[in-house]
Structures are given as C-alpha cells and as structure tokens.
C-alpha cells in the first residue's frame, strides 16, 4: 500500500500525515556542515536534540553537531536519547587482546558516536549534556552519567522531551523513489517520530523554531506501512549519497549471543505458555533467543519437544502450562506485538509460526476472532459482513469502496447507479438476490483479505543477518511487517493510532514476555536498577506491557530470570526475600520463570506467592528463603517444600541439557555465531578465568595452577598466538600466558 493510499483508507489517520499537502518536499543537503549551519540559523544556539534509540541515531549529523558545539562554547547542546551503542572494549589487557581483532572484523565501517567516546574519556565540555532514558545494559554503572539518567516509560519519552524543550529531532532513514514519487522510511525507529511530527508542526505554528532532520543511509532496511512517510514530513534531509563516490557507513550490528543451558530451559518453559492463535512480545538478549528457539522446536520437531516436556515433568509440576498454554505445533500461528522487533520474529515468520494476520478494521478483526470468516475470501465473507452490519444488503458506493479496500472485492469492480460492473458484465448490487450473489461470487471476489500484518514493532536492532533478511524481503513479505509508534504497540490507550477496542481485538491471548534481574518473594520484579539507585538499563516498555497484560482478560505477563548470579565474586540468589528497589510492583505480579520452572502468581494470596517462587529458586538458597518467609509470618511454620522441587541444582540442569545436546538440541548458537572456533574456545576460558580470579583466594589458586602450566604445548600455540602471547616480554605477560594456558588445558 502506498503512502497516499494509506492516508485515504486508514481510520483513524496516521499521526504523521497531519503534514499538509502544500508543504514542499524537504530540502536535501549533501554536506553535513551546511546542514548544521542551517540548524543553528533556524533554532539558535540553545539546542535540545532528540535522537532515537540504538541504530536509529543519525551518526554523521549528531557527530557534526556535537563537534560544532564542542568547538564553540557559545552553543549549548543537550542530547536526549537512549541506548547509545558502542563497540565492545575490554577492561583488562587480556580482554582487549581478545576483543580488538574481533571488533575490527565485526564492526568494520561502523562509526563511533563522538559523544560516547568523550564520555568514556571524561572529555565532554561543560556546554554539552548527554541524557538518556535507557542505558545499554550495565554500560554506565559507577559512572557520572548516572546523574543524567531520566527514569521514564518508553511511552512517555515524547512527553518528557517536550518538557525539556526539544527543538531538534533527528533520525536515520531509508529513501526510495517509485514512479517519480520519493518517500522515506523511519526504518528501525518509527517509535517516536510518528508522534513527534504533528507535535512539531503545532510548535512551529505557535512560533517556536523547531526542526525535524532525516539522515539517509542506504544500508537501512526500508520498512513499509506506518514507517513509510511522505517527503515533506522532515524539514531537512542529509543525503550524502548526493556526493559522487560517497558510501554510507555500516549499521551497528549486535553479535549473536550464546545461549547457556540455563537460558535454554528458561526459554523452553516460557514456550509452553505461548498459545496458538495468540500474540507474542519479547525483549532482547539470550533469554529471548532461547524462547524463540524452543518455540521453533515445538513447531518443527514436536516429538522431541514432548520428550523435553516429559523429562521436565512440566504438566504435573507446573499445571499453569496446561491451563493457559499449548504444546502442539502452530496451526493458527502467532501475531507479534513488541516494541522491539528482534531477529527471532523473522525466524518465526520464515518457519510459518508468525502468520496470524491482524487488520486495522474492527469489524474484520472481530469476525476473524469469532471464526466467522477467515483471511481467505469467499461469498461467506460478504454475508458475514452483511450480518454484522458492516455493509447494506443494497450495496452503496461506499460499501463497494470498503469491500475493495479490504480485499473482498477485486480492484476492477465498479459501482454505478445501484449496479456492479466488471468489464462489460453487470448485475444488481443487491445481496438479497440469489442471482446477484452468484454473479458476485463468480466475478467480484478477491482471493484474500488485504492489509493484514503479522507484526507490529516500534524499533529494531540485531545481528547482521537480521538486517540482511529485512533488506532482501519481498514486497509482499514487507507488507506483513508494520513498524509503528511505540504508543500504538505498548499501550491500549494511545492518542493517535488505532483504538482501544481494535487493539484489544488484535491482541488476543497475548503473552508479554520480559526479563528481570531479580524478583522478591512478594512478586515484585527488579529489572532496571540496583537498590543503591545505580541504573543498569531502564524501564523502557516493561511496565507498559505488564500493565497491559492485566487489562486484557486472556493475556499474561511473564518474567524470565536466571535463578542465581555471581555478584562481587559470590554466588547469590536472584529470588530474594526483599530488595531496596523494584521496577514492577508486587500488585502486578503474574508469572515468573527460572531454569527450574514456572511460578504462577496472579490472583494468589501471599503464602502461595512466596512458596511458588521458592519452588523455582536454586536449592542452595531455598532453606534461607523459606526461613525468612516463615519468620515474617508469610508462610506457615509447619510448611515444607515438596520433594519434587528440592533438586534445583546446576547438576540437574546439566544432566537434562547434555541428554538433549546429544540429539543436537539446545546448542549454544542455534541462530549463527559471530566468533571463530578459536575465539569461542578463548572466550570460554577468559570468562571462566575472570570468575575464578574474582576473589583473592581464587586468584591465588589460579596463580599456583599457572606455575605448573606448559605454555609450549603445541595445541595451545594457535590460541596463544591469537592473544599475542606466544613470546611474552614482561613478567606480567608471562604470568598472563601461564594463567591462560592453565585454564585452556583445564577445559
């Protein structure tokens, strides 16, 4: 569907299309410095710049504006954003030796954000402030940047930017020209721009100098539907491809992360709660990749999937999986509704799982949900629409236009004075006449309903093959994916796109699946920060989806977390009696999953909530948690944990994992690997060595083991060469060589 067609047929209208037709196309600049000059001339020296999350940042423009402000203290620049991506840099010399060749290879052609580079060096001048509402996880712990964090829901980001006086909004876009008509795509970040455009127009009309800037990058996947906007939405466009010989920079691509045995089991448990014909939201990271993998396993190797179900005794131990989930293959399929469209959704689409289409028409969606019609058009579709009151028995011109728009009638059908025409044939436009119905069935009907999408997303970021898949999609496939406003995806009550009733109809049997760092026994989730106030990441859209799950009668909120973690060199439970910070309050508790199973908490009294969570905690921490719960009077003094839940150990996880790994199930890199075989071996050794040396005692033990290591072992030479440790010159390097050699041989 073209932009103009979309404007004419979508109800209510897309927010960005409030830009008037009289507004000319945005002027294009080939030179970024000239564009910066124009921005300063327009809005002055006091600039609050809003740029999108992750890969949507227009790096060339942001860097040029930042450097101009850095060189001119008369300019005050405030950058408001989130998830400022940066290439990985090792903290220790050993980590740096491991990462530098990898980064050079994997991030070739990816530019740095100058403000992040300066932040790391403490070189940001006083006239510039960088504020984020979502950190790349763990990237600014123990950093002065903690002071510039803004805590907000993703859906409130536009509001907050307006409160802060934003006067320049900029983002990366793709561009195409078809039949002489140029349009731009918001690509990876339709999230905020769709809401910003009409608001910026209002500000401009009220006399506030503002600017919306687009930077074209040919590597950006051109996303259609809501993300495709007219050439006059932006005020100025930076298109460096107008320069002869220019080549756009590469997009930041996240390497494929490994999936641990624990993560695989968490993902498997989560997959048992996903209902065929339902809706799916997931976040980023290995826990989400694990869920996607097990969902694919359920669909493609259902016999093996049931072997795992039986091995884990899921039905008996965790009956909620039987109550709200499924274990069969996906016949109706899933619809994706997720602020972050991860690469997993493309895997689900290719596998024929992400196939439940939703429509921007409440009547159609209701009839589909009630199974009165299917996406395949027949005369029964027409009669169902008639019975539902969507069309009249004596068809009108508006009825025919509606039927053509939704794909029930072919585009060639014409209406004139109460009659239908196809080529030279005609019949009365009366659905009460059997002969007319037969003629309509023969001459007028389309094949399938039009305008259906299988995915609504607000932004995306992922590995290189994900971007490649989006770039090589067919036109028909692209029409199934709709990048849109974050308010549309994350909330039932957005102001611009769609309606509450429509979104409720689309999002049947929704499973909003997110990750947490810790959960308290009361059911509160800790997802974004530590109890001392240090922010790890951000709330993002998590609260929105949790709240939404409680507003939709057949939906559930699912929190995934690993049962324990090493913190400050000590193993600690991630299920805690209490904690000094929460992201999701206890009254919104629902389902929690660890590698040991599923805790169903919604509508349960506290004594059940506490014991259900203890059942899925690591057994090394269960006695302490139970004692704390009893001491607080939350659990009866005579309560004992059932034996079936008392073997929550790493050994039990490994036993199950190894059994199925022998069948090539639950591999560490099911979706591809960005590392070489040597790098994988070294990475495991470095991770293990880091954990072992986290305490003074552990460090001493490793040093003693290193004294007897033989770094001249022929099998180690390629690995040591990769780390530039074949011929260490200093005592420190010699010790490092032996430490690494000992760890590699120990593996």
Give the pLDDT confidence score for residue 336 in this predicted structure: 98
The string of pLDDT tens digits covering residues 20-54 is: 456 899 999 999 999 999 999 999 999 999 999 99
| H-state helical runs in 328-429 | 343-350, 362-369, 379-387, 397-405
Dihedral, CA of residue 237, residue 238, residue 241 and residue 247, to nearest 10: -140
HEC profile of 144-194 = HHHHHECCCEHHHHHHHHHHCCCCEEEEEEEEEEECCEEEEECCCECCCHH
Beta strands 335-340; 455-459: pairing state: parallel
Give the pLDDT confidence score for residue 8 in this predicted structure: 31
Rounded CA separation 218/220 (Å): 5
Rounded CA separation 373/376 (Å): 8
Rounded CA separation 593/602 (Å): 13
Q: How confident is the model at residue 476 (pLDDT cuts 50, 70, 90)?
A: very high
Angle, CA of 120, 123 and 128, to the nearest 5°? 105
With beta carbons less than 8 A apart as the criterion, state whether 201 and 230 touch: no
How many alpha carbons lie under 13 Å from residue 177 in its C-beta half-sphere? 3
User: In the beta sheet, which residues pair with residue 535?
Assistant: 529
The string of pLDDT tens digits covering residues 56-97 is: 999 999 999 999 999 999 999 999 999 999 999 888 888 999
CA distances from 709 to 162, 712, 719, 741 (A): 61, 9, 15, 6
Tokens, residue 77: 């620049």
Nearest to 560 by CA among 299, 306, 333, 271: 271
Q: Is the pLDDT at 1 greater than 50, yes or no?
A: no
Give the pLDDT confidence score for residue 688 in this predicted structure: 87
Residue 117's SS3 state is helix
Mean pLDDT of 360-387: 96
Measure CA 424 to chain center: 51
Give the pLDDT confidence score for residue 21 in this predicted structure: 52
With beta carbons less than 8 A apart as the criterion, state whether 689 and 740 touch: yes
Residue 106 zone, left/alpha/beta (φ > 0; ψ -120 to 50; rest): alpha
Mean pLDDT of 355-381: 96
Q: How confident is the model at residue 708 (pLDDT cuts 50, 70, 90)?
A: confident
The string of pLDDT tens digits covering residues 583-616 is: 999 999 999 999 999 999 999 999 999 999 999 9
Q: At what angle do helices 464-471 and 343-350 cross, to 10 degrees?
A: 50
The string of pLDDT tens digits covering residues 246-298 is: 999 999 999 998 999 999 999 999 999 999 999 999 988 899 999 999 999 99
Residue 258's SS3 state is coil
Q: Is the pLDDT at 7 greater than 50, yes or no?
A: no
Nearest to 18 by CA among 201, 142, 154: 201
Which is it for the CA torsion 195, 198, 200, 203, positive or negative?
Answer: negative
Mean pLDDT of 484-499: 80
Q: Is the pLDDT at 221 greater than 80, yes or no?
A: yes
Which is it for the CA torsion 201, 207, 210, 211, positive or negative?
Answer: positive
With beta carbons less than 8 A apart as the criterion, state whether 702 and 569 touch: no
φ and ψ at 585, to 5 degrees? -70, 160
């Amino acid at each position: 569907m073209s932009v103009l067609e979309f404007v004419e047929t979508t109800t209510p209208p897309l927010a960005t299309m409030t830009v008037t037709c009289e507004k000319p196309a945005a002027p294009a600049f080939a030179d970024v410095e000239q564009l910066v000059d124009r921005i300063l001339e327009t809005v002055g020296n006091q600039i609050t710049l809003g740029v999108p999350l992750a890969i949507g940042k227009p790096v060339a423009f942001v860097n040029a504006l930042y450097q101009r402000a850095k060189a001119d203290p008369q300019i005050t620049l405030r950058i408001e954003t989130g998830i400022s991506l940066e290439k990985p840099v090792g903290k220790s010399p050993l980590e740096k030796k491991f990462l530098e060749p990898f980064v050079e290879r994997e991030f070739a052609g990816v530019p740095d954000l100058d403000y992040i580079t300066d932040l790391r060096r403490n070189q940001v001048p006083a006239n510039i402030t960088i504020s984020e509402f979502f950190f790349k996880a763990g990237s600014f712990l123990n950093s002065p940047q903690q002071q510039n964090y803004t805590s907000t829901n993703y859906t409130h980001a536009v509001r907050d930017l307006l409160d802060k006086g934003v006067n320049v909004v900029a983002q990366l876009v793709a561009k195409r020209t078809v039949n002489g008509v140029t349009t731009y795509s918001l690509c990876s970040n339709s999230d905020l721009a769709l809401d910003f455009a009409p608001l910026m127009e209002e500000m401009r009309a009220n006399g506030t100098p503002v600017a919306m800037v687009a930077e074209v990058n040919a590597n950006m996947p051109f996303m259609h539907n809501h993300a495709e906007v007219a050439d006059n939405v932006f005020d100025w466009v930076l298109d460096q491809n107008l320069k002869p010989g220019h080549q756009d920079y590469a997009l930041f691509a996240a390497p494929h992360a490994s999936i641990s045995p624990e993560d695989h089991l968490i993902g498997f448990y989560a997959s048992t709660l996903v209902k065929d014909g339902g809706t799916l939201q997931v976040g980023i990271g290995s826990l989400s990749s694990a869920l996607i993998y097990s969902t694919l396993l359920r669909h493609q190797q259902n016999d093996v999937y049931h072997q795992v179900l039986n091995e884990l005794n899921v039905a008996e131990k965790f009956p909620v999986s039987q109550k709200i989930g499924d274990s069969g293959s996906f016949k109706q399929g899933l619809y994706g509704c997720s602020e972050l469209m991860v690469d997993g959704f493309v895997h689900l689409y290719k596998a024929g799982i992400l196939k439940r289409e939703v429509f921007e028409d409440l009547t159609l969606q209701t009839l589909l949900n009630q199974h009165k019609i299917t996406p395949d058009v027949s005369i029964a579709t027409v009669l169902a629409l008639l019975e539902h009151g969507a069309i009249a028995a004596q068809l009108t011109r508006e009825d025919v236009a509606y039927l053509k728009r939704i794909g029930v009638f072919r585009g060639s059908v014409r209406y004139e004075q109460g009659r239908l025409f196809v080529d030279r044939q005609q019949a009365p436009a009366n659905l009460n006449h059997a002969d007319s119905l037969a003629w309509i069935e023969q001459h007028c009907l389309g094949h399938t309903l039009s305008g259906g999408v299988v995915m609504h997303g607000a932004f995306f970021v992922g590995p290189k093959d994900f971007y490649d898949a989006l770039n090589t999609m067919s036109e028909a496939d692209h029409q199934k994916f709709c990048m849109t406003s974050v308010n549309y995806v994350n909330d039932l009550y957005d102001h611009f796109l769609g309606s509450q009733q429509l979104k409720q109809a689309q999002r049947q049997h929704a499973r909003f699946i997110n990750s947490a760092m810790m959960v308290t026994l009361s059911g509160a989730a800790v997802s974004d920060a530590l109890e001392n106030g240090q922010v790890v990441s951000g709330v993002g859209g998590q609260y929105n989806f949790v709240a939404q799950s409680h507003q939709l009668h057949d939906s559930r909120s699912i929190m995934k977390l690993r049962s324990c973690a090493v913190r400050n060199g000590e193993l600690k439970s991630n299920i805690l009696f209490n904690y000094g910070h929460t992201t999701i309050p206890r009254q919104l508790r629902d389902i929690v999953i660890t590698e040991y199973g599923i805790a169903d908490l919604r509508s349960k009294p506290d004594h059940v909530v506490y014991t259900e969570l203890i059942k899925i905690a690591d057994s090394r921490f269960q006695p302490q948690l139970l004692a704390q719960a009893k001491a607080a009077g939350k659990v009866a003094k005579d309560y004992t944990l059932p034996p079936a839940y008392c073997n929550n150990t790493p050994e039990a996880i490994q036993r199950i994992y190894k059994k199925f790994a022998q069948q090539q199930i639950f591999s560490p890199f099911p979706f591809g690997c960005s590392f070489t075989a040597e790098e994988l071996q070294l990475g495991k050794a470095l991770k293990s060595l880091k954990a072992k040396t986290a305490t003074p005692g552990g460090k001493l033990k490793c040093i003693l083991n290193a004294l007897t290591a033989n770094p001249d072992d022929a099998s180690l030479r390629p690995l040591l060469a990769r780390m530039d440790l074949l011929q260490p010159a200093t005592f420190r390097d010699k010790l490092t060589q032996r430490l690494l050699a000992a760890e590699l041989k120990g593996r």
